Structure 1
Amino acid sequence: MLAAFLLTLVAGGATSIGAALGVLGRGTNPKMLAGGLGLSAGVMLYVSFVELLPEGAHVLSGGGAITARGTAIATLSFFVGIALIAVLDRLVPEAVSPHEFSGRMTGSHGDPEVREPDEQAADRALRARLLRTGTVTAAALAFHNVPEGFATFVAALQAPEIAIPVVAAIALHNIPEGLAVAVPVRRATGSRSKAFWLASMTGLAEPVGAVLGYLLLAPLLSGDAMGAILAGVAGVMVFVSLDELLPAAEETGEHHTVIYSLIAGMAIMALTLLIL
């Protein structure tokens, strides 16, 4: 059991690698911001439509061939997930403490860069949006990582030698997840430590999910309930990608960087799923 938990911890801990990449370099670099957000959106969209939603339909179909009933319930769960995150999104205040921002940005050499009042206002608005984006993304990814951690833990308990490639694949796709949180939070707050630790915490949801699933949720999260949860999580991740990540990425003005990174994120996720 200890080995299974450690393998799950390794998979979740890979998020910190992405977090570290997200806080390195210049936090105000628009290409880095656009690339990180686009990459993360690609990962989340691909895994939602190619892995989570079909797997939810598969589970809801009784584990065999996908049925019309399984597809219908998975589709309903998908849109219920979107509705839930949309409601939560509307409850988050648009304004994020204006005192947090002084109207100055850190220049490329660490010196304060004075800006005109209208530029300061635009910068405050963008930072507020990015902070909100990073926080919502962290919550969505943490929620997604709980059943993922439980699945990894169960696989390791059954056959550790089979779980190792599973852990490697999950760890690989957790790296851009850490990047997804760290990049906007680093850009919004100017704090590398806040960005790193918030992003890393999303990965810790995996070992937490392993423990909770084993101790409390295993009898409940089976059959139709698990299938509905997987499809619902897909809806949450699609909403976050389209409503938060991509609009914030486009605001950098680096459209082509966003598109290329989006495709790269899909390619990375496709590769990890093939390995998995």
Structure 2
Amino acid sequence: MVATGHNVGIAFALNIAAGLATCIGGSVVFSKSLVHLASPKSLSVALSLSAGVMLFISLVEIYGKSVEGFTAGLGEDNADGEYECDQTCQGNSWLAGTACFVTGFCIIYVMDWIVHKISPDFSDELDVADLQALEVAVDPTLPHFHATGTPVANSKLDDEKTIKFNAKSRHQLNRTGVLTAVAIAIHNLPEGVATYIAAMRDVRVGAVLAIGIALHNIPEGIAVATPVYFATDSRCKAFLWTFISALAEPIGPPGGVS
């Protein structure tokens, strides 16, 4: 497909939309209604839908188009001057497509390993206690809200343990939030490249992939904003780090395809 200004504009728009979904997750710190929606059940549904969409698009649409591209490139003209791709050519096309698929898997695996190697205590997941603490912090009318306004919550998993954030735990929470933002930004770079290339090849495929990535980015935004908010008591700082991690999505394509 020949790249046109229209195609490029659509591809970048899809990347921006998918990236901003991270900010949707981060905006939960501003509204108790959004926190109520960010229940473990709803997040699980979003992640499951995202996984299904991205797996289908990756294995059925993008992988198939990759093989088609190799088939078009590896074939040769026959004696009559007509393009032909024999069985050997088709087999090589499947091998090349599979090799690139495995290479991409290895690249993202190594990137994930590097992030965890740099910070062994890094986690991009939220447990039930985190969501309960966030709900209480944003909605002061709920029980167990500290009189000073500091986020405090009781976990239903253990009524005797109360989460209180002293100076040391605040520093650790802030570090966790920042590291999560950096890690998600790193992960968003190849996602942005994949969405851009898919949209340039087929807008429909790019749009569906962007939807899957957007569903995946919403819980990631919550994972960034929650610890930063608890550490700083600042909704703006929490949202800022979420926005920074989201920027990698549209930034990825220029660097990845240049």
- Cα separation, 1, equivalents of 2:99 and 2:206: 31
1:174-230 deviations in whole A, cap 9, x for unaligned? 43244133211221112353155235313323xx51x4466x3xxxxxxxxxxxxxx
Equivalenced residue count is 198
- Counterpart for residue 32 of structure 2: 26
Corresponding letter in the other structure for 2:114: V
| Higher alpha-carbon Rg | 2
Q: CA deviation at 1:46?
A: 3.5
Give distance in 2, aligned partners of 1:203 and 1:134: 12
Separation in 2, partners of 1:107, 1:173: 28
- How far apart are the structure 2 equivalents of 1:26 and 1:181? 18
TM-fit CA distance, 1:12: 1.6
2:223 equivalent in structure 1: 184
Residue of structure 2 equivalent to 1:112? 150
The residue that corresponds to 1:38 in the other structure is 44
Residues 53 and 78, structure 1, Cα contact 8 Å, conserved in 2: no
**For residues 18 and 26 of structure 1, what CA distance do their matches in structure 2 show?**
18
Structure 2 partner of 1:202: 248
Distance 2:34 2:120 in 1: 24
Runs of 5+ consecutive residues of structure 1 not aligned to the other structure: 97-103, 156-161, 217-276
Deviation at 1:90, TM superposition (A): 0.9
- CA separation of 1:174 and 1:57: change in aligned 2, threshold 3 A: closer
2:183 corresponds, among 117, 136, 143, to 136
- Give the letter for the 2:250 counterpart: L
Aligned partners of 1:138 and 1:181 also within 8 Å? no
Larger mean CA deviation between 44-53 and 192-201 belongs to 44-53
| Gap runs ≥5 in structure 2 | 72-89, 124-133, 142-148, 154-159, 230-234
Is 2:96 the partner of 1:52? no
Q: Secondary structure at the match of 1:136?
A: helix
1:81 Cα deviation from its structure 2 partner: 3.6
Larger proportion of helix: 1
CA distance in 2, matches of 1:142, 1:36: 26
Preserved contact between residue 19 and residue 195 of structure 1 (Cα < 8 Å)? no
Q: State the distance in 2 between where 1:185 and 1:175 align.
A: 15
Within 5 A, what are the aligned runs for 1:148-227? 148-152=195-199, 154-155=200-201, 163=203, 165-190=204-229, 191-192=235-236, 193-205=239-251, 209=253, 211-212=254-255, 216=258
Give the deviation of 1:23 after TM superposition. Answer: 0.8
Distance 1:91 1:184, change over 3 A: same
Is the contact between residue 138 and residue 202 of structure 1 (CA under 8 Å) also seen in structure 2?
Answer: yes
TM superposition shift of 1:35: 5.0
Tell me the CA shift for residue 170 of structure 1: 4.0
Q: Are the counterparts in 1 of residues 116 and 122 from structure 2 also a CA contact under 8 Å? A: no
* % same residue: 12
Aligned 8 A contact 2:185 2:245 in 1:
yes
TM-score, normalization by structure 2:
0.54
